[in-house]
Amino acid sequence: MKKLRIPLAMAAAATLTLTACGGGDGGASTNAEGETLSVWIMQGTNPDAEAYFDEVKTKFTEETGATLDVQFIQWAEAHDRFVTSIAGGTTPDVAETGNTWTGEFADAGALAPLDEYVTAANLDGDLVEGLVESGTLDESLYGMPWYAGVRSVIYRTDIFEELGLEVPTTWDELVDVGLALKEAKPEMTPFAIPGDNGYAAYPFIWGNGANLATKEGDTWTSGLTSPEAREGLEFYTGLATEHGLSSAGATTWNAKDILDNFVQGNLPMAVMGSWEPPAILEQNPDLEGKIGAFPIPGPDGNISPSFLGGSHLSVFESSENKDLAWAFVEMMATGELADKWAEQTNYFPGQTSLLEDAVASDDPLVKPFATQFVEGGTSVPVTPQWGAVEAQKTLPAMIQSILSEQKTVDQATEDAAAEIEELLNGN
Partner 1 sequence: MSAPPTDLAPPRNTRGGVSPRTKRKLTMSTARPWLLLAPALLVLAVLLLWPLLRVVLFSLQDYGLREIVSGRSNYIGFDNYAEIFADPMLWQVVLPNTVGFAIVAVGGTVVFGTLVALLLASLSRGWRTVVSSCIMVAWAMPAVTGTYVWIWLFDADRGLINGILLGTGIIDDPQNWFTDRWSFYAIVVLNIVHHGFPFVAITVLAGLLGVSKEMIEAATVDGAGAFRRFFQIIFPTLRPVFAVVIILSTIWDFKVFAQIYLMPGGSGSNRSVLNLGVWSYVESFAQNRYGLGSAIAVLLTLLLLVVSVLYVRTLFKEEK
When the beta carbons of 229 and 412 are compared against partner 1, the nearer one is 412
Residues that bind partner 1 (CB under 8 A): 3-4, 6-7, 83, 86-87, 104-105, 107-110, 189, 195-196, 247-253, 257, 266, 387-388, 391-393, 396-397, 399-401, 404, 406
When the beta carbons of 7 and 285 are compared against partner 1, the nearer one is 7
Q: Find the shortest distance in angstroms from Cβ 146 to partner 1.
A: 22
When the beta carbons of 68 and 112 are compared against partner 1, the nearer one is 112
Helices (H), 49-134: 49-64, 75-88, 102-107, 115-120, 129-134
Alpha carbon of residue 164 to chain centroid = 34
What's the one-letter identity of residue 15? Answer: T
Alpha carbon of residue 392 to chain centroid = 18
CB 374 within 8 A of CB 359: yes
Q: Find the shortest distance in angstroms from Cβ 384 to partner 1.
A: 9
When the beta carbons of 80 and 218 are compared against partner 1, the nearer one is 80
Beta carbons within 10 angstroms of residue 47's beta carbon: 14
DSSP one-letter string for 235-265 = HHHHHHHTT--S-TGGGG--HHHHHHHHHTT
Q: Find the shortest distance in angstroms from Cβ 410 to partner 1.
A: 17
Q: Find the shortest distance in angstroms from Cβ 314 to partner 1.
A: 14
Cβ-based burial of 214 (10 A; exposed 0-12, middle 13-18, buried ≥19) = exposed
In terms of DSSP bridges, do strands 219-221 and 136-137 run parallel, antiparallel, or are they unpaired? unpaired
Q: Find the shortest distance in angstroms from Cβ 105 to partner 1.
A: 7
When the beta carbons of 45 and 251 are compared against partner 1, the nearer one is 251
**CA 38/CA 40 separation, integer angstroms:** 7
Residues 6+ apart with CB under 8 A from 288: 281
Selection from 25, 128, 53, 1 nearest residue 345 by Cα: 53
When the beta carbons of 122 and 427 are compared against partner 1, the nearer one is 427
Q: Find the shortest distance in angstroms from Cβ 88 to partner 1.
A: 9
When the beta carbons of 63 and 390 are compared against partner 1, the nearer one is 390
Q: Find the shortest distance in angstroms from Cβ 63 to partner 1.
A: 31
